[in-house]
């Protein structure tokens, strides 16, 4: 009987070890994904939108920025 209980304890330990290993891999993977996105993907997207913003003519740029200056045409 002791042999069976020892075997059961061992299998539960290996199961726990397997779960911890899987959780560790998941955490490392999510951290890696977070760093890749925060350091590479998001800045690249920001730079693309910024390039698009710089290509716009100035009056469109001002309207996007929400400038409150209204140019009055001289008569």
Domain borders along the chain are 2-65
15's tokens = 């199961």
Q: What is the pTM of this model?
A: 0.44
pLDDT at 55: 75
pLDDT at 5: 58
pLDDT tens by residue, the chain, 75 residues: 455 555 666 678 888 999 999 999 999 999 999 888 888 778 878 887 777 777 766 665 566 666 555 566 666
Q: How far apart are CA 42 and CA 38, in angstroms?
A: 6
pLDDT at 31: 94
pLDDT at 38: 83
CB-based contacts of 5: which residues, under 8 Å, 6+ apart? none
Q: How far apart are CA 5 and CA 17, in angstroms?
A: 18
């Amino acid at each position: 009987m002791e042999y069976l209980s020892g075997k059961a304890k061992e299998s539960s330990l290996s199961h726990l070890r397997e779960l911890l290993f899987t959780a560790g891999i998941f955490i490392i993977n999510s951290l890696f994904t977070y760093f890749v996105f925060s350091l590479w993907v998001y800045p690249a997207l920001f730079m693309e939108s910024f390039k698009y913003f710089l290509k716009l003519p100035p009056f469109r740029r001002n309207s996007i920025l929400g400038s409150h200056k209204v140019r009055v045409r001289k008569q």
